[in-house]
Amino acid sequence: MDKVTVGDVLNAIDAFAPFASQFEDDNSGLIAGRIDAEVSGVLCSVDVTFAVIEEALNSGCNLIVAHHPILFYAVKSVTDCRYVTAVVLKALNNDINIIAAHTNVDFASGGINDRLAELFKGKNLRALDCHSYVRLFDIAPTMLYDLAEYAKKILHDNAILTIGENSVVTKVAVVSGSGGEADIIEYCAQNNIAFMTADLKHHLAAMADDIDAKIIVFGHFTSESIFVTIVEEVISAAFPELMVICSVKNVNPYRNRIEEKE
């Protein structure tokens, strides 16, 4: 097999989901390591954690491609005194490189938002007028609560929430992760579109309820867990002989749902 470098993997991801397309305040790209380092294997993960670094070491992978940048805000020192820098330090001390591919993969053609639309059997996929990164699609007439139950099933998400009356839905807008914005909610309410996203803040939920919007709120991790499959496919297609695996140690941090007792 020809030598594959961290830079080569970075370029393969960029060809699929250009890093230039990420949100202005995002931090996708090479987060830690050497761009010219030869890659022994790639571990694909939603997050970079101590457990994921151990998994990479045990699997013989010296490159982690994660969805969430472990370094998002500016830091003035890299020590073991803070969690995020301690994680990066552990990676560097073990010659593990880290690439983050965040909003660029959310928005890419064939990226997370497109894959979510496919999971919901969406037809006539297009961008929402007010925000092009939001995917709008049509579905067969479905009651809102039934759509939420379907989301629970396909996303393996036990904590789906809904806002709005249980009415018929034929158009759905979706954005993975924390995609709740006031103008998106208002646009969807005005155009009878059900909106699906994660991490909806309370003031937006209250607004959505007040204007009779139809909202489904799923988990952040569950909406983005398909990332590992997407980048595994992209990197494996570019470098067929390179070991590329999906993390089994990076799991949804919310594991237990407390049910109301009767």
Mean of all residue pLDDT scores within the chain:
96
Q: Is pLDDT above 70 for 222?
A: yes
pLDDT for 74 equals 87
CATH of 6-106, one of 3.40.50.720, 3.40.50.800, 3.40.1390.30, 3.40.190.10: 3.40.1390.30
Could you tell me which CATH class the domain 109-220 is placed in? alpha beta
Domain spans, the chain: 6-106, 109-220
Q: Is pLDDT above 80 for 142?
A: yes
List pLDDT tens digits, range 232-258: 999 999 999 999 999 999 999 998 776
Q: Is pLDDT above 70 for 262?
A: no
List pLDDT tens digits, range 65-74: 999 999 999 8
Query: Do the domains spanning 6-106 and 109-220 agree at the CATH topology level?
Result: yes
pLDDT for 261 equals 66
**Residue 26: how many CA atoms within 13 Å on its side-chain side?**
20
